[in-house]
Amino acid sequence: MIIPTTITAGAEHERMRLDVFVSMRLAPEYSRSQVARMIKAGLVTVNGAVARASSGVRAGDRIEVAAAPAGALYDPSNYKEGDAPEISVIFADDEIIVVNKPAGMTVHPAPGHPAGTLVDALLARFPELAAMAEPDGVLRPGIVHRLDKDTSGVMIVARTPFSRTALSRQFKERIVAKIYLAIVKGKVARDRLTIERPVGRHPVERKRMSVRSHAPRDAVSHLAVLARFDPAQAGDAGASLVRVKPDTGRMHQIRVHLASIGHPCLGDPLYGRAGCDGFFDRQALHALALSITHPRSGERLEFIAPLPTDFVEFLAQKSLAPDARELRRWIELN
């Protein structure tokens, strides 16, 4: 949590952007984007007046950084273990927490999902995360990346401001390695496939993303087929188990890319045919593995989330029961 701070600009800071100047003084705990949100929230003043992030500072300017109002931050007493959803913790130390997020759990509170989130579960078990609320009071302490509500699997959460900044930088610079498993409609013909299709907001349906967006961003996903399954009945297209390694992290990227080649995730309500696959009641997508560089030690670490029950049961029907050795083979597949 930000401690109220007063900074005086020197001659060497003349004409420097306000957000750049403040982020320099608050680094490494707070990034420039976080400082920009603080400025927008009115928590930063210059000579007693609210200013814009792009405003230039002058020598002698007195910049005051205030804490977010107490009511905007988390109250740890509101989050008791008995009341919050349970969460499986894969790893935790003084800097990071790694969890296996279940399908159906939203990452942080949002309109329509005010409670029962991953953040609620984390605060119940790690109440000190309350101090990690964003400096503008936004309710996402330590969250540096996300999984869709109905995507299961491994997620990493920062436990300190230092780690939040370091991990955010790793995601931005694409140092983090992510591996997903998906069960998709139909038999994917090619064993290997790289999908390079920019993804952005759908031009008409605003809840969807699309490869036909008017404002797309680059997106790359590497696909490897692990198994193909014959149709279970007449009219069924069969299915494929695939591993996906995304180079980028666009919203809904993997789901959009798979649908764009005619093989949406089974059960996907947005990009496939929800409820028409006869098994999954959510998109069949699981974040299997995540590799990061530890923010403090510099050690390269890998975390694996076991297969969820619906994956295990579907694969068992297909006479496939992958053990830890098989999961390792899938992760290391070239």
Q: What are 190-200's pLDDT values in tens digits?
A: 999 999 999 99
What is the pTM for the complete model shown?
Answer: 0.78
Is residue 289 pLDDT above 90, yes or no?
Answer: yes
Is residue 274 pLDDT above 80, yes or no?
Answer: no
SS3 content of the chain, % helix, strand, coil (to 5): 25, 25, 50
Dihedral of CA atoms 112, 118, 124, 129 in degrees, nearest 10, equals: -110
For 147, what's the count of Cα atoms within 13 Å in the CB-facing half-sphere? 30
pLDDT-derived band at 234 (thresholds 50, 70, 90) equals confident
* Mean pLDDT for the stretch of residues 119-126: 88
Is residue 47 within 8 Å of 53, Cβ to Cβ? Answer: no
DSSP three-state, residue 333? coil
* Mean pLDDT for the stretch of residues 13-23: 92
Write down the pLDDT at residue 68: 60
Q: What are 292-314's pLDDT values in tens digits?
A: 999 999 999 999 999 999 999 99
C-alpha–C-alpha distance, residues 279 and 43, integer Å: 50
- What is the torsional sign of CA 136, 137, 138, 141? positive
pLDDT-wise least confident of 8-12, 125-129, 294-298, 302-306:
125-129
| Alpha carbon separation from 136 to 39, 46, 66 (Å, rounded) | 8, 17, 10
Percentage of the chain lying above the pLDDT 70 cut:
87
pLDDT-derived band at 267 (thresholds 50, 70, 90) equals very high
> Which letter, b or e, does each residue of 195-213 get, where b requires 16 or more Cβ atoms within 10 Å of its Cβ?
bebbbbbbeeeeebbbbeb
pLDDT-wise least confident of 104-113, 128-137, 212-221:
128-137
> What would the two tokens of residue 267 be?
């059960």
What's the Rg (C-alpha) of the chain?
A: 22
Residue-averaged pLDDT of the chain: 87
Q: What are 134-147's pLDDT values in tens digits?
A: 654 555 678 999 99
> Which letter, b or e, does each residue of 172-189 get, where b requires 16 or more Cβ atoms within 10 Å of its Cβ?
eeeebbbbbbbbbbbebe
Residues tagged active-site: 148
* Mean pLDDT for the stretch of residues 14-35: 84
pLDDT-wise least confident of 40-44, 91-95, 106-110, 201-205:
106-110
